[in-house]
Amino acid sequence: MKSKSNFIFNLIVFNSLIIALSSCLSYRDIVNFNEKNAADKKFDSISLNKEVKLQTDDIVQIFISSYNKEEAFKFNLLSNQQGANQPAAAGSMVTDPFGYRVDNKGNIEMPVVGKIHVASMTLEEMRDEVYRRIAATNYLKEFTVHVRFLSFRVTVLGEVNSPGTYTISSQKVTILEALGMARDVNLFSKRNNILIIREQDGKRTYGRIDLKSEKLFENPWYYLQPNDVVYVQPHRAKILAAPDPASRYISTVIAFVSLVLLILK
């Protein structure tokens, strides 16, 4: 009887240790770029910096500057918007307070020049097209077109220290920069399987990023696109350590049985 009790006790202790150890994180689990000493490389070529292309619902800012300020004033959105107390005219295009929203047909509408189809253009291509259209009006001889994104947003969710939606002022952002804005991933993040959800051209696509891989910078998803959603999955260790009712019940039973066996022993 005594030997049987000892066997059961030892079995419970062994299983408890297995569960505890399985929920622990190793050094390799929490370090990025740790495959084959990737950080020891002297240099890498950069070839995946994809240009962002405009799509519907994007918001862009366009500003025309010239020595002839009065004529340039005609082409700028803020000088042509209706007053806050004036209703919009029937059939007029709705714009954001400081930028142009690309409509569902891929167009923006500028003062004087009218509609311009900008969908699938880069910012540089849109700037060149706006310049060409303004030059064709012969209002301005010398002028400059300034453009920038107002709606480059990425959403970072999951096992990060500060999840949320972040607006990017530049034209590009990498997965590392996005995670940096979210104050980095936490200890329970699954760094080798980060999900990226992208909606573009009426389709939703999914990509994966491995922060631990030496080929991280070669991943086609390394550079993010506007409105991307980054989801950092939890590590299995967090799931095992989660204080859910089932785990608490099992722990209580194990403790009670251990106590009874100790008393019997």
Side-chain half-sphere of 204: how many Cα atoms within 13 Å?
4
CA–CA distances in Å: residue 258 to residues 21, 22, 119, 254: 19, 21, 68, 6
**pTM to 2 decimal places:** 0.60
Whether residue 37 has pLDDT greater than 90? no
Most confident of the following: 90-104, 127-141, 234-248: 127-141
Identify the pLDDT of residue 21.
Answer: 46
Q: Among the listed ranges 74-88, 144-158, 198-212, which one has the minimum average pLDDT value?
A: 74-88
Q: From the centroid of its chain, how far is CA 199?
A: 12
Q: Which of 27-41, 47-61, 110-124, 251-265 has the lowest mean pLDDT?
A: 27-41
Q: Between these two residues, 70 and 87, which has the higher pLDDT value?
A: 70
The whole-number average pLDDT for the span 46-70 is 80
Confidence at residue 265, expressed as pLDDT on a 0 to 100 scale:
57
Q: For the chain, give the mean pLDDT.
A: 74
Distance separating alpha carbons of residues 140 and 112, to the nearest angstrom: 12
What pLDDT, on a 0 to 100 scale, did the predictor assign at position 39?
47
Measure CA 217 to chain center.
Answer: 16
